[in-house]
Amino acid sequence: MQSTDSPVAIVTGASSGIGKSVARKLIEKGYRVHAAARRTDAMADLATLGARVHHLDLTKPESIDAFAAEVLAEGDRVDVLVNNAGYGFYGAVEEIPMAEARAQMDVNVFGLAHITQLVLPSMRRRRSGRILNVTSIGGKIWSPLGAWYHASKFAVEGFSDCLRNEVRPFGIDVVLIEPAGTATEWPGVALDNARKVSGSGPYAPILDGTSALFTSEQGQQSADDCASAIVRAATVAKPRARYATSPAAHVILFLRWLLPDVAFDGLINRICKIPKRIAI
Ligand SMILES: NC(=O)c1ccc[n+]([C@@H]2O[C@H](COP(=O)([O-])OP(=O)(O)OC[C@H]3O[C@@H](n4cnc5c(N)ncnc54)[C@H](OP(=O)(O)O)[C@@H]3O)[C@@H](O)[C@H]2O)c1
């Protein structure tokens, strides 16, 4: 049951998948939740549960400013910020239009950083707050045709490591969340984007082999299980710096740590059946 004393949480990307489940679980725990995404209709269920629903387009700085102003106008308090919104624009570097590459970085990196910047003064004044940045095992490993997605998630890893130490003296925690494959809209969006730009042409044989990565359910975690890990990280007394959210995530990160680049490259190339040579 929420009251004016209830802790306040922001969840971006709450219109589907992991973010929607995190928002629901935080409401159940008594948080006043600000749920944000472009598809406000898709958050009607959260509004029914008591969430405050906001339109947010992370490619537009003015949308981010307006969103933060709406949240802070309701009280100068944010206890938990879950920077979850994100997507994959997969495809070959040669073929992805730079506008799409910039949009990928805008949503996954600059949008996350912009909201964080707007919420920090309130957390700092209250000497309390927790920021959870949803990256991916893709912030530590590569996958075929994922250059811009991985660039964005590697960036969030470095950004968060710096930020964690910058704001610790003010009583603010920064936590990285590293899921592996999770059953949401994400794989379909990433594969559609890859097909759009690299479904034919010189890189198509790489996409042919890689498609299975997006459609396979092997080792996949449910959005609810991933959300439970995030909510635990949001509410535990002393959070760790980063959480891998599934057994598959732990195994893959262990292999990345163990194997030299040449062996890890070979492993991924074999799994994705990437041809050794492609005709021009
Ligand atoms: N699913 C996986 O396998 C997986 C694995 C590792 C990491 N992750 C990460 O987990 C996070 C959540 O993804 P998910 O799996 O839950 O995928 P999802 O179901 O596709 O949800 C993505 C969310 O991001 C929002 N979003 C996308 N573009 C946006 C924009 N321009 N402005 C505002 N919001 C935007 C979407 O809302 P609207 O479209 O309504 O705006 C949606 O709510 C992402 O950061 C993703 O990279 C996912």
Catalytic residue among 87, 149, 203, 243: 149
Range of the domain at 262: 8-271
The verdict on residue 279 lying in a domain is no
Which of ligand 1's atoms lies nearest the C-alpha of 39?
Answer: 40
The verdict on residue 278 lying in a domain is no
Residue 1: its pLDDT value, please?
A: 62
The verdict on residue 1 lying in a domain is no
112: domain CATH number?
3.40.50.720
* Total structural domains within the chain: 1
pLDDT grade for 279, boundaries at 50, 70 and 90? confident
What rounded mean pLDDT belongs to the chain? 97
Q: For the full predicted model, state whether its pTM sits above 0.95.
A: yes
Does 15 sit in the ligand 1 pocket, CB within 6 Å?
yes
What's the whole-number mean pLDDT along residues 201-211? Answer: 94
Does 181 sit in the ligand 1 pocket, CB within 6 Å?
yes
The verdict on residue 154 lying in a domain is yes
Q: Which two tokens stand for residue 162?
A: 């710096």
Residue 47: its pLDDT value, please?
A: 98
The verdict on residue 277 lying in a domain is no
**Pocket mutation for ligand 1, best pick of 20, 84, 105 (most atoms within 8 Å of C-beta):** 84
The verdict on residue 76 lying in a domain is yes
Task: Catalogue the long-range contacts made by 232-240 (C-beta closer than 8 Å, 24 or more residues apart).
Answer: 233/132, 233/175, 233/177, 234/9, 234/26, 234/80, 234/82, 234/130, 234/132, 234/175, 235/29, 239/130, 239/173, 239/175, 240/175
The verdict on residue 131 lying in a domain is yes
The verdict on residue 245 lying in a domain is yes
Q: Give the number of other Cβ atoms within 10 Å of residue 168's Cβ.
A: 11
pLDDT grade for 5, boundaries at 50, 70 and 90? confident
Residue 149 bears catalytic tag: yes
Does 139 sit in the ligand 1 pocket, CB within 6 Å?
no
Nearest to 18 by CA among 236, 231, 254: 231
pLDDT single digits (tens) 117-173: 999 999 999 999 999 999 999 999 999 999 999 999 999 999 999 999 999 999 999
